[in-house]
Amino acid sequence: MATTDINTADTARDVRTIDGVVDVIASTAPEIRTGLPGRRVTAEDENPSGETQMAADVFADDLLCERIGALEGVGEYASEERPESVDVGTGRLSVAVDPLDGSSNLKPNNTMGTIFAVYEGPLPAHGRDLVAAGYVLYGPVMTMVVARNGTVDEYVIHDDASYELVREDVTLPDEGSVYGFGGRVPDWTDDFEAFAREVEQDASRKLRYGGSMIGDVNQILTYGGIFAYPTLESAPEGKLRVQFEGYPIGYVIETAGGATSDGAKSLLDVDKDDLHARTPMYVGNTDLVAKLEAALD
């Protein structure tokens, strides 16, 4: 289980701020989704990770920065789309977001999402500094998953920006039934490829990989199993960003009773001091993540 939760936020103001961040994410999601059709084109710039920005990335980032930054209690805002964090107030909580995870899926009209993390302290922060995290999934239905106060809840977001609780205290199923592995197979390490082939041999598991990390992780939260974006021969540090993807997804999955790893330890224990640092990511049921770590040892 994730060990840091809302109880570490020692003032009522922090509680209100966390609730406010969740409200902003939920109320902004319909506007982000509505704005996607006219923004399926590339922007002029690359993001700090060297990836081509979509106009929708910039649009979502600007909306979230303005609205989260207006919350009393938030001191810093950072996103995958900005080279540095932005000082937005005097609060002691910081918010990091991936405004539009999977934006490359705009062209084929596939799943995307928004990921958020609330840290106690300045950025870049550590995984154990998290007090809340979650994501919105722009699927056939808009849903929001939130981990805070030691539990994970799922909400449906309506077009009028209202949202309602549909599942309380979400946990991974005991028997995982899906798997998804990112990166090009020829770029996998030998140890990971051997593990992946073993997972594939289990006829009870189905391949689920859509090219949007948050959509693939949501499959794991729903059905159980394992998702990995592994160490690659060409990218030993992996692809996914620690502050914006690794820590918040680690927090959600571990709070839901699952396990996470960078190949050797919990994602929440990864120690990187660069805002845009990357990490390999392995998340899922505890038994499968343990087997993965043993395979890579």
**Residue 9: per-residue pLDDT:** 43
> Is 121 labeled as ligand-binding?
no
101 labelled as ligand-binding? yes
| 94 annotated as ligand-binding | no
Rounded to 10 degrees, what is the CA torsion of 153, 156, 162, 165?
-40
What pLDDT, on a 0 to 100 scale, did the predictor assign at position 44? Answer: 59
Please tell me whether 89 is known to bind a ligand.
no
Class of domain 178-296: alpha beta
Annotated binding residue 98: yes
Do the strands 281-284 and 178-181 form a parallel or antiparallel pair, or are they unpaired?
unpaired
Residue ranges of the chain that CATH labels 3.30.540.10: 12-167
Output DSSP code: residue 88: -
User: Residues of the chain whose pLDDT is less than 70?
Assistant: 1-10, 38-52
Beta bridge partners of 120: 93
State pTM to two decimals. Answer: 0.93
Q: For residues 10, 162, 220 and 111, what is the CA-based torsion angle, rounded to 10 degrees? A: -130
Give span(s): CATH 3.40.190.80, the chain: 178-296
Q: Is 254 annotated as a binding residue?
A: no
Spatial strand order of the sheet with 112-120 comes to: 86-87, 74-79, 93-101, 112-120, 130-138, 142-148, 151-157, 163-167
103 is in an annotated binding site: yes
DSSP assigned state of 149: T
> Annotated binding residue at 174?
no
pLDDT at 45: 64
Q: Is 100 annotated in some ligand binding site? A: yes
153 assigned to a ligand binding site: no
113-141 pLDDT, tens digit per residue, is: 999 999 999 999 999 999 999 999 999 99
Question: Would you state the pLDDT for residue 2?
Answer: 57
Residue pLDDT, tens place only, 8-29: 445 788 999 999 999 999 999 9
pLDDT of residue 239: 94
CATH architecture assigned to 12-167: 2-Layer Sandwich (3.30)
